[in-house]
Amino acid sequence: MNGTVIPGTPIAVDFWSVRRAGGARLFFLSHMHSDHTVGLSSTWSRPLYCSPLTARLLRHRLKHALPSRSCATHQAAQLIRQHPQHRVVIGVYSLGKEELLVDLALEFGTWVVVSPSRLEQMRLLELPEVFTSEEGAGRIHAVDVAEIRWDTLVSWNVLHPTIAILPTGRPVKVTHPQIHLIPYSDHSSFSELCEFVKWLKPCSVIPIVKDSTCHASFQKYLSRDHQALPGLGIPKPVQVSVQRQSKTKKQKLVYLMKRAALRSVPRGVVYESLEECAEQSDGLRGITAPEQNSRESAFCSLEDGICLCNCEEEEPSGAQPGGAVAAGTAGQSPVSDEDIPSELPKQYLLTPLNALKQSSFCKAVEDLFSRWEVS
C-alpha cells in the first residue's frame, strides 16, 4: 500500500487507515490509481482533498451499483466452469456469503469443505447439508478471506491447480493472477437503498455509516408530511409484572428487617453488672422459690443447651442475682444468694473457654463447686 503521513504535520497523502494515521486530519488523494486508493471505500467519512477530475472519478467508483446476488452467483459459476481441473477456494468472512456457497455446491454437485468451527456455525444457521469438514471430500473450499494472498496461492498451486474467488463489494488489491474478484454483497447496494427509500417515503433517514454524500442522496425521496408519532405507552402486562416485582421486593425487605430484629435479641447466658445484681438481690431477699417437679431450673435453658445446675437431682432452684440468668426463664422466681457461693460466678468466668467446650456445663459446674469447697 502506497501513501504516507508527513511527519510533524496533520497531513496524510494516499493513506486511508484512520487507526494508523495518528493525529492526521487532512487527507489528500493524489490520483485514482488502484495502489493509491487501497482502503478508500464508500465508508470513508473524513474530508478528502483532491483535484476536480479525481473527485469525479472517485465518486463514480465509490457509487458503483453492485449486480444482484443471483447475477454474482452466475458469474462465479462461469468462472469455475472455465477451470474444470482446478480446485476452487472461496474467501469469506466469519459470517456471510453462505447463500453463495450453497448455490455453488448445488450447481456443481459437490461438498463445500470448511473448518470444524465454521461447520458448526452452518448447522446453527440450519443451512442445507452441503458442508463438511473432511479434507478432500469436495472441490470447493471456503476459507477465511485473510488466507487469500500471494504466498498461499503459490503453495496451493504447487500441490494442485487452484483458483481463488473473493466475493466482495469492497476494493481489494489483487496480488496473484489466480485471484478473481466477484462483486458480491449481502448488503443492499446504493441503488437498492435509494429505491427502498423512494418507495417508503419516510420523514427522515438516520444513517449508521456517517457519509454525508449518501445521506444527501436520500433527501429528495423523503416525505414532507411530518406526522406526530403515536404515543408509546407501557403495555398493561408489563405494568402488572413491574407492580408484582415491586410488591415482592417490599415484602422481602420487611421480612429481612423482622429477621434482623429477632437476631438482635441476646441468647444464652447474659451476665449482668454486679451493681445491678446487688440491687436486685436486696429487693428479692426472703422470697422463696416454688417447688418444681421438672428437671428444668432457673439455670437451665434447653433451647440453647446451657445448664448450670446438677440436673441429676430434682431440687428447687432459682437464679442467682449476682450471677448468670438464662434467657427465657424470667418467669421463674430466683432464690437467695445465700444458697449459692458468691465466688462461683467468678470461678466460672475464669474457666477457659476450650475447657467448657470439651466438657458439659454440668460437669464444669461440679468441678467449680469442688474447688470452692476445698478452698
The domains of the chain are located at 4-62, 69-183, 190-221, 269-374
pLDDT score at 251: 74
pLDDT score at 91: 94
Q: Is 16 exposed, middle or buried (0-12, 13-18, 19+ CB in 10 A)?
A: buried
pLDDT score at 244: 80
pLDDT score at 17: 84
pLDDT score at 368: 61
pLDDT score at 260: 65
- pTM as predicted: 0.47
Element (H, E) at 210: none
pLDDT score at 272: 55
Q: By C-alpha distance, which of 93, 114, 57, 254 is closest to 169?
A: 93
pLDDT score at 282: 54
pLDDT score at 235: 74
pLDDT score at 129: 92
For domain 69-183, give the fold: Rossmann fold (3.40.50)
Angle of helix 69-81 relative to helix 98-108, nearest 10 degrees? 40
Predicted confidence pLDDT, tens digits, the chain (375 residues): 578 899 889 999 999 888 888 888 899 999 888 788 888 877 677 888 999 999 888 887 777 677 888 899 999 999 999 999 999 999 999 888 999 999 999 999 999 999 999 999 999 999 999 999 998 899 999 999 999 999 999 999 999 999 999 998 777 778 899 999 998 888 877 778 888 888 988 888 877 766 555 667 788 888 877 655 555 567 777 778 777 877 777 777 667 666 666 655 555 555 555 555 555 555 545 444 444 444 443 444 444 444 444 444 444 444 444 444 433 444 444 444 444 455 555 555 555 555 555 555 556 666 666 665 555
